[in-house]
Chain A
């Protein structure tokens, strides 16, 4: 049984790493949107990390799926990696995993073809990407006991907290954002009547 156990362990390990990476990618994505910085790093590091880690995440998920398939303890068809609910074993939970992976792949593919694609389509797919995280989390909790206790549970909660905080930060900005038609009015109010109190260094954000 040791051969199959190795695959099973590999699958669980790559699974948890993939979840950690996905968490980092989501938080970094929000950081890019908010033009945030990582301390000590240049701006392009944030965008680079976001993109590179997203590719790494897909790689880990792929290994996670393949090792699960190779493990002969239960029969999981390879198609179950991308086709939701194609597995007899743990149909629901593995199905969620497939959905999450599909969303990730859609994001990666549309991003690689970004120059040729309609801008709105790219944005829509990227927005849908937010869903890949909770779906991945549900998959993790349901399909393996690992996240239900011990240090893995703590890890899961920590990831959920980081995602939660990042999303709240994003939503707070969206709520505060001035619509295009009102931006100029805001800018005008800042400079006029000037009365000598204009602030040349402050930027009106788009």
Chain B
């Protein structure tokens, strides 16, 4: 149990703004209504600069904030590494959620751009950063560009933020791929070491942080770590944005406190509506609906089932669909999104996708399942990035959860009555270098 110390300095003496109690924290008070600069300042006050490098990091550590981009890495540690590294630092706000099933970053940019921008400025001060970037997918930047213009007119920001568009690739938001792209190359991963926190954009120590994490930092800086810990669990404090795909086809972005039971997020999670729950998006884990009925939105609980919250994507597959067909569609997408740089991934993922496509069609397929297992074992840990590993996790959990369906298909039957695809996937696949820039 850590002792929380209130941050001293300018944060305490700023105009007293009432800390928001309960939810929402990141999302605006009135759902869907974006806050302009005036409304933002009225609600939260000015960003409380600490007046020096490294001073904010203690608060972030006390708050126990972890990254909201999927990896859940302790944020203060990442900040400390970059702040301590030699040379000028670079900060990149990563809004390229890249996952077709995730909508939270796009929404955050639209309804709470000033929180994100505050987070960039405050974190930049903590790092001693001299360069700031915002990396986002095309079509998601209108509101934040307007917000940047507002702040520029008001002279509100210390550091100019360069906005760069990410290509619509699944790997575009990967840390080293992002740095590669910002450096003028394609958005494909590079070999690590060196980590981008040591040597990233232009050789400088680079902090790549999800925009939601930065928004949380903007709030922690104002209201303190104790406030942050009022919601969430002791081990995983705070709130997080989730993208929930309801069984009726609706998609919602819900800000939930960590530890919320999944059944309160998913309509009919325990009911007849859903047959399985995907937790963590396309690199996540399928869970049987019975497990989902008892699980909570936190890594400690999910880990016992081999799952993590990831970037908060939760999908409840309706009972009338074929789970194997859905899994095969997603695996095909994941294989097509390989950067094609590493032999095992380039060869293994399409092979696995082919195997799943076979399993999704009715007919006897004994060797296919074994082949898929063998290839899954062969690609794990043998790429330059985590793409093969995440894909294998998705595939293995699908083969486990939908095992009864595999048996049915072998007998030439399928339990689905609805052939419409459920999980969102874009059309087409990348074929030229331009598709990666």
Contacts and interface: CB of A to CB of B under 8 A. Distances in A.
Interface string A181-198: 111110110111111101
Given A203-B347, A204-B346, A184 B354 contact: no
B433 A188 contact: no
Interface string B324-344: 000000001001111111010
Given A187-B346, A188-B336, A182 B354 contact: no
A201 B339 CA distance: 21
Nearest to A178: B340
Contacts of B394: none
A184 B351 contact: no
**Most central of B346, B350, B358, B432 by chain A CB within 10 Å:** B350
Contact of A191 (B354, B429, B431, B433): B354
B433 A194 contact: no
A203 B371 CA distance: 15
B436 A185 contact: no
Contact of A184 (B346, B355, B371): B346
Q: How large is the interface on A (under 10, 10 to 19, 20 to 34, 35 or more residues)?
A: 20 to 34
Q: How large is the interface on B (under 10, 10 to 19, 20 to 34, 35 or more residues)?
A: 20 to 34
A110 to B, nearest CB: 21
Contacts of A40: none
Contacts of B436: 181
Contacts of B336: 184-185, 188
Nearest to A206: B343
B261 to A, nearest CB: 39
Contacts of B293: none
B311 interface: no
A184 B350 CA distance: 8
B335 A188 contact: yes
Contacts of A187: 335, 340, 346-347, 349-350
A184 B357 contact: no
B248 interface: no
Contacts of A191: 335, 350-351, 353-354
B351 A182 contact: no
A198 to B, nearest CB: 5
Contact of B429 (A179, A185, A203): A185
Contacts of B435: 181
Contact of B340 (A181, A190, A193): A181
A39 interface: no
B340 A198 contact: no
A182 B346 contact: no
Given A200-B351, A206-B346, A183 B335 contact: no
Interface of A: 179-185, 187-188, 190-196, 198, 200, 203-204, 206
16 contacts: A179-B432, A179-B433, A181-B431, A183-B346, A184-B336, A184-B338, A185-B429, A187-B350, A188-B353, A192-B353, A192-B354, A192-B357, A194-B355, A203-B343, A204-B343, A206-B343
Given A181-B186, A184-B339, A206-B341, 9 more contacts: A179-B432, A180-B340, A181-B340, A181-B436, A184-B340, A191-B351, A194-B355, A198-B354, A203-B343
